[in-house]
Amino acid sequence: MKLGRFIDDAYRGLNKGRSLRSEKGDPIFSLDDLAERLGTRPSRTEVEELLPQDPGNLKRLVESDPGNRHQIIWGHLSSIAAERSHQPLHLPAENYAGLELSRGTIILEMGGDHVGERMKGGRIYLRQRAGDYLGQEMTGGGIVSRGAGNYAFRRMSGGLGVIKGDCGNFLGLGCSGGKVVCQGSCGERAGWLMSSGSLRIHGDAGDYLGLLMKGGRITAFGRVGRRAGWRMKGGTIRGKAFGPEAADGVFGLD
């Protein structure tokens, strides 16, 4: 018997790819079951195809501890659960909460990394400080957080991000749209490579604000560090207290 025929007989005519491991007839009891069929970094569509329709099963899966292996799967599940819920979904601190969220509301008691990544709509509220990569690549919706780590709203192209406290370095790196408001202070290189959108900083900003900025608008109400607007190619930076080494002629003083 040829190898191809042998494999076909062994699989009883089923597709030998991912769909075989994702056979809908198999019960899904845990995140391990999903990961066994999908791998650890599946797409949103792949997760939805296998997800049980029973709300009780979905609730149990979302309440499971994803550990380090199942964070992407759990992130998709958190968004699906929020979108199906008529009430805000309250969750603990986990990485990737609200991954690709399109509607609904998630309330996080604590903040992990990558919260709201690739978010398209809906709302996320963090009662405490978020980790790194808050709202990365979000295209819509809104996020409100007590504070944030590094790379908040990186490559954001739409939506609204509000940080009610301080945040780390690289706020709004590579933004091409949307609106970011930091009510506290931020670290260095906020608005780096920004091409569109708006960034408002009510506290102080670190060094290299608007580095290599191509477009958009940055407004700083506090003290700004050295080299603000360095090698800036477009857009506007406005503030009240630029450092002595700020680039000349690329910003306005309000």
Q: What is the pLDDT of residues 99-148, one digit of tens each?
A: 999 999 999 988 899 999 999 999 999 999 999 999 999 999 999 999 99
Q: Is 64 left (phi over 0), alpha (psi -120 to 50) or beta?
A: beta
Rg (CA), the chain: 22
Q: Residue 79 belongs to what H/E stretch?
A: helix 71-84
Higher pLDDT among residues 176 and 69, named by residue: 176
Is 236 within 8 Å of 218 (Cβ atoms)? yes
Provide the pLDDT for residue 243: 54
137-178 pLDDT tens trace: 999 999 999 999 999 999 999 999 999 999 999 999 999 999
pTM beyond cutoff 0.75: yes
34-37: long-range pairs with CB below 8 Å, 24+:
34/61, 34/70, 34/73, 35/69, 35/70, 35/73
Q: What is the token pair recorded at 72?
A: 């992407």
Pairing of β 176-182 and β 160-163: parallel
CB neighbours of residue 214 within 10 Å: 15
182-189: which pairs have CB atoms within 8 A and are 24 or more residues apart? 184/147, 185/222, 187/150, 188/225
DSSP letter, residue 196? E
* Contact predicate 118/82, CB 8 Å: no
Q: Give CA torsion, residues 163, 195, 232, 164, to 10 deg.
A: 0
- CA-wise closest residue to 152 among 168, 129, 165: 168
Give tens-digit pLDDT for 197-222: 999 999 999 999 999 999 999 999 99
